[in-house]
Amino acid sequence: MSSPQSQSLDVRTALKQGIHLLREAHVPSDTLAAELLLLHVTRRDRTWLYAHPEEILDPEIIASYFSLLRRRAAGEPTQHLTGKQEFWGLEFEVTPEVLIPRPETEHLIEVALDRLAIRELRASRDHKLTGEGLTIVDIGTGSGCIAISLAKELPDAKIYATDVSPAALAMAQRNATRLGFSNRITFLESNLLQAFPSSAASSPHQSPVCPEPAERVTNHQSLLFDLIISNPPYIARKEFSNLPIEVRDHEPTSALYGGEEGYELYGQLIPEAARHLKPSGLLVLELGHDSLPAVRPLLEFPQWTNLLVTNDLAGIPRVLSAERT
């Protein structure tokens, strides 16, 4: 009998065989992964897939599909095979050089928008939140998913995005350009907030990735933010061997590990954030599944107030937010 790759198969059979292959390899969400790979090779949408179960697929399409299925079965993430992931209703290009945006990170956007809206109400500005007058920075932007989603929601905000990885910044910038937000976000290569010295006397440590007028570069020196938001690396290095192969072998180490225990980077990020926020400015941080006990004590009065912990859909404390006094 010839192998499935050299045959013509109908859509229903191809999907069934794909699910079976992934299930045998213990791939999580096998049905969804097989569907996404079939949609990718056929360049169709889900409606077409289920409306045309009898449609015969060309042998070349079947060959590409089974090649991707085998790579998925060997551990490559589906998003690396399709090159994309949806986040906040936008389609982001992803490569192995950036973290694949996760659904739980959308809670950061929700918390940030809610808390900014509450701040506006407190200041008796109860009109629609457009971001007018707000300056925001996303630390560790990766694919750019947080900065770009905020740019979409807050059309008048000034947004900065930093990362230590030039490859991630290039990806974030490509996403911003493709999604139409490149003129709204300044991308900077920077260790945390070091590109924004807190002393007005010192020079900027890094130049923007994208050349921009010298005046704006100089302005970075004295910038204070209304919102600092970050999904920092927070996995413990000692957990390396317990991670799923998709994550351990395929996502960038600089995006994963926060130190031996995982929560070390928060210890640098939070004091830096305190120096770079306006009074009543907001800090919104994503947490690892067990980070809360180590991170909450770093946000104490008198520097911080109005601490809020938000759980994700699995009931895990996922977002820690606080206001600078």
Ligand X SMILES: C[S@@+](CC[C@H](N)C(=O)[O-])C[C@H]1O[C@@H](n2cnc3c(N)ncnc32)[C@H](O)[C@@H]1O
Residue 179 CB coordination number (10 Å): 17
Residue with smaller CB distance to ligand X, 35 or 251: 251
CB of 36 to ligand X, least distance (A): 19
Rg (CA), the chain: 22
* 30/163 with CB nearer ligand X: 163
- Subset of 82-111 contacting ligand X (CB under 6 A): 99, 101, 105
Backbone angles phi, psi at 212, to 5 degrees: -145, 170
Q: What is the three-class DSSP state of 69?
A: helix
138-177 positions binding ligand X, by CB under 6 A: 139-143, 145-146, 162-165, 168
- Rounded Cα–Cα distance for residues 221 and 123 (Å): 27
Q: What angle do CA 259, 137, 224 make, to 5 degrees?
A: 110
Least separation in angstroms between CB 234 and ligand X: 7
* Subset of residues 15 to 54 that bind ligand X, contact rule: CB under 6 A: none
Position 243 contacts ligand X (CB under 6 A): no
∠ CA 195-109-96, rounded to 5° = 65
Smallest gap from Cβ 238 to ligand X, in A, equals 18
Distance of CA 7 to the CA centre of its chain: 39
Closer Cβ to ligand X, 139 or 185, answer by number: 139
Mark residues 273-292: x for contact with ligand X by CB under 6 A, - for none.
--------------------
Contact residue for ligand X among 7, 221, 254, 306 (CB under 6 A): 254
Torsion of CA 101, 120, 276, 188, to 10 degrees: 40
Q: Which residues bind to ligand X, rule: CB under 6 A?
A: 99, 101, 105, 139-143, 145-146, 162-165, 168, 191-192, 231-233, 254-255
